[in-house]
């Protein structure tokens, strides 16, 4: 999962980044609304964590712009401004949640997981497909409750992204953005995505059929349920 942290308090931004990076999120930082908007225009994010009290522009204005440039991203407002009016306005502008400062990093992670479940219609963090069980929170894949299947970080990120967008073709460009952030120069034109998908299929098919992981010719891949 790729996360943009828009927070002008650099120590807090670094603390959030370190915590989420340890939890296997990929994080970018922005310390002003302008930096945040530039990153949103250039990257595809799963989450935007947004402070309202930015030095150059109100965070609510950035939220409004972000919804145009990155409509699929989930947004959680992190702010010391706890007035009801700000909360209502933020939610009306498209925020998925509002977490007042100070907050626990564990609560932040729990809120992100809850938003993820709501966004993709999940009851919990576990996805069952065929004979496989994928736990998005623990980042594990098992087959018929046997020992976990060893996927690399990028392989798990690719698989989970396809699962969350089930029944929808996902282009190689979208997958490249999700894994490397942006188009990563030559990476998009390489066969890196195809190689990772091939490795995923090889590891999973050693346990059970994976006919649900399909190639969409000239486009990319999709998980069909």
Q: Quick one: 2-119 is in which CATH superfamily?
A: Response regulator (3.40.50.2300)
The reply to whether domains 2-119 and 126-223 share a CATH topology is no
Q: Could you report the per-residue pLDDT of 123-155, keeping only the tens digit for each?
A: 677 889 999 999 987 889 999 988 899 999 889
Which one is predicted more confidently, 164 or 15? 15
Q: Which CATH architecture has domain 126-223?
A: Orthogonal Bundle (1.10)
pTM of the model: 0.72
State pLDDT tens for residues 160-198: 989 988 899 999 888 887 776 654 444 444 588 999 999
- Cα–Cα distance between 181 and 14 in angstroms, integer? 19
Over range 201-211, report the average pLDDT. 95
Give the Cα separation of 110 and 27 in Å (integer): 17
Cα(127)–Cα(220) distance, integer angstroms: 22
Residue ranges per domain, the chain?
2-119, 126-223
Is 74 strand, coil or helix? Answer: strand
- Bridge partners (DSSP) of residue 77 are 50, 98
Tokens found for residue 80: 């010391």
pLDDT at 186: 45
Q: How many CB atoms lie within 10 A of CB 29?
A: 17
Averaged pLDDT score across all residues of the chain: 87
């Amino acid at each position: 999962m790729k996360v943009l942290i828009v927070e002008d308090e650099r120590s807090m931004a670094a603390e959030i980044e370190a915590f989420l990076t340890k939890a296997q999120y990929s994080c970018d930082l922005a310390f002003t609304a302008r930096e945040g908007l530039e990153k949103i225009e250039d990257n595809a994010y799963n989450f935007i964590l947004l402070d309202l009290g930015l030095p150059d522009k109100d965070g609510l204005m950035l939220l409004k712009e972000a919804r145009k440039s990155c409509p699929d991203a989930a947004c959680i407002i992190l702010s010391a401004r706890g007035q009801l009016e700000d909360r209502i306005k933020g939610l009306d502008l498209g925020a998925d949640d509002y977490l007042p400062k100070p907050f626990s990093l564990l609560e932040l992670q729990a809120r992100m997981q809850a938003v993820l479940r709501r966004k993709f219609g999940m009851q919990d963090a576990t996805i069952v497909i065929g004979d496989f069980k994928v736990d998005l929170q623990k980042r594990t894949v098992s087959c018929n409750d046997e020992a976990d299947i060893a996927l690399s970080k990028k392989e798990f990120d690719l698989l989970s992204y396809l699962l969350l967008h089930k029944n929808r073709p996902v282009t190689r460009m979208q997958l490249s953005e999700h894994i490397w952030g942006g188009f990563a120069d030559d990476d998009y034109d390489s066969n890196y995505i195809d190689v990772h998908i091939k490795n995923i299929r090889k590891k999973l098919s050693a346990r059970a059929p994976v006919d649900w992981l399909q190639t969409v010719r000239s486009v990319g891949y999709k998980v069909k349920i």
